Amino acid sequence: MKKNLHPETHENQVTFTNGEKIVIFSTVKKDLILARDLFNHTAWTKSRTEVLSGQAGNNFQKRFGDFGSF
Q: For residue 46, what are the contacts with CB-CB under 8 A and spacing of at least 6? A: none
Q: pLDDT (tens digit, 9 = 90+) per residue, 6-29? A: 899 999 999 999 999 999 999 999
Q: Please give the share of the chain, as a percent, with pLDDT higher than 70.
A: 80
Give residue 40's pLDDT.
Answer: 81
Q: Tell me the whole-structure pTM to 2 decimals.
A: 0.55
The band of 64, judged by pLDDT with boundaries at 50, 70 and 90, is confident
The b/e string for 31-56 (b: 16+ C-beta within 10 A; e otherwise) is eeeeeeeeeeeeeeeeeeeeebeeee
Give residue 14's pLDDT.
Answer: 95
Higher-pLDDT residue of 69 and 6 is 6
